[in-house]
């Protein structure tokens, strides 16, 4: 795929992923134009003044809830990366209708605008919390996944093609537990919800690569799931704050003890593609038979964060922590 002649729209472009994705585009792929679409003018200003002022960049103020603004922003766009979302679990529980408006209605608006603008490809970011969801955030992202996968039925295999990527907690994103622990260790005491808790972890670089690979490889309807390591929360505490006391405060509402990237039910239509799993659409009225070299996973396969043999090493944990610590 030749990126040089592409115009790319990134919703949520001022977020942690968006900034890393844009930086990677400018450094490695050099597309014709990158449109940063977000609703916060201050974040756009801060992004521009922090070095993101390349001639190929465009900053659009807008909200994915606003269908007309999306249609205007997608004029002449070839590829859409949809990263905008309300993603704080507690905030979504307290403001459920707002989460629906952004995460579900916003997905619908992306799909409609992309079809009307004759975009080539749309790749949406999802989360492990969409698998067997127990909170509203996960439920809205599950619905969004379904919308993007089945949007291919509207185009019948023609453009635009729609697909998703699904991954776990991002090292370096806002709200990560690592900076919280680094701050708490100054007091000699850290808090964890449950000492048994495990989570999948992925770096921003890995997330961006999953997206760029997905854009290049997608044929419509796939959910790309990376093969990544997971971590026990107490292993992280041992690396970050080995001399601190640990307060166990109890699991929060809407929180899982362990996360899943693939459920039992999805195993029947999931392929092993080497460095990733590919969840194929269950009901595809369009043609998608391009993954002939990938192998089906076992019908009882589950991809969960407490899977034996999938743990981050101490050195990987230390490397993750070092990326936060100031020199």
- Catalytic one among 6, 121, 129, 256? 129
Structural tokens at position 98: 């707002």
Helix-helix angle 177-184:314-322, to 10 degrees: 80
Known catalytic residue at 87: no
In whole angstroms, give the CA distance from residue 295 to residue 162: 22
Q: Please state whether beta strands 189-192 and 79-82 pair in parallel, antiparallel, or not at all (unpaired).
A: unpaired
Active site residues: 129
């Amino acid at each position: 795929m030749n990126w040089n002649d592409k115009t790319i729209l990134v919703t949520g472009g001022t977020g942690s992923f968006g900034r890393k994705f844009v930086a990677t585009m400018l450094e490695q792929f050099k597309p014709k134009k990158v449109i940063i679409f977000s609703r916060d003018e201050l974040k756009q200003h801060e992004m521009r003044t922090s070095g993101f002022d390349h001639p190929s960049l465009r900053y659009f103020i807008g909200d994915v809830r606003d269908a007309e603004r999306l249609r205007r922003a997608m004029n002449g766009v070839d590829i859409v990366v949809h990263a905008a979302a309300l993603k704080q679990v507690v905030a979504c529980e307290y403001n459920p209708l707002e989460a629906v408006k952004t995460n579900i209605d916003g997905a619908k608006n992306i799909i409609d605008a992309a079809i009307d603008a004759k975009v080539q490809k749309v790749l949406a970011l999802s989360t492990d919390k969409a698998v067997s969801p127990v909170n509203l955030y996960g439920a809205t992202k599950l619905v969004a996944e379904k919308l993007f996968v089945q949007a291919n039925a509207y185009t019948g295999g023609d453009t635009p093609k729609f697909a998703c990527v699904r991954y776990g907690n991002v090292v370096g994103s806002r709200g990560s537990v690592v900076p919280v622990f680094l701050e708490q260790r100054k007091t000699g005491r850290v808090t964890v919800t449950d000492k048994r808790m495990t989570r999948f972890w992925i770096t921003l670089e890995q997330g961006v690569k999953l997206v760029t690979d997905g854009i290049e490889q997608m044929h419509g309807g796939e959910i790309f799931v990376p093969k990544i390591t997971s971590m026990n929360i107490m292993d992280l505490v041992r690396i970050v704050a080995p001399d601190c006391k640990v307060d166990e405060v109890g699991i929060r509402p809407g929180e899982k003890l362990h996360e899943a990237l693939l459920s039992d039910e999805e195993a029947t239509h999931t392929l092993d593609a080497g460095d990733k799993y590919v969840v194929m659409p269950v009901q595809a009225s369009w043609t998608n038979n391009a993954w002939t070299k990938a192998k089906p996973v076992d019908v009882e396969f589950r991809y969960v964060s407490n899977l034996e043999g999938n743990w981050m090493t101490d050195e990987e944990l230390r490397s993750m922590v070092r990326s936060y610590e100031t020199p």
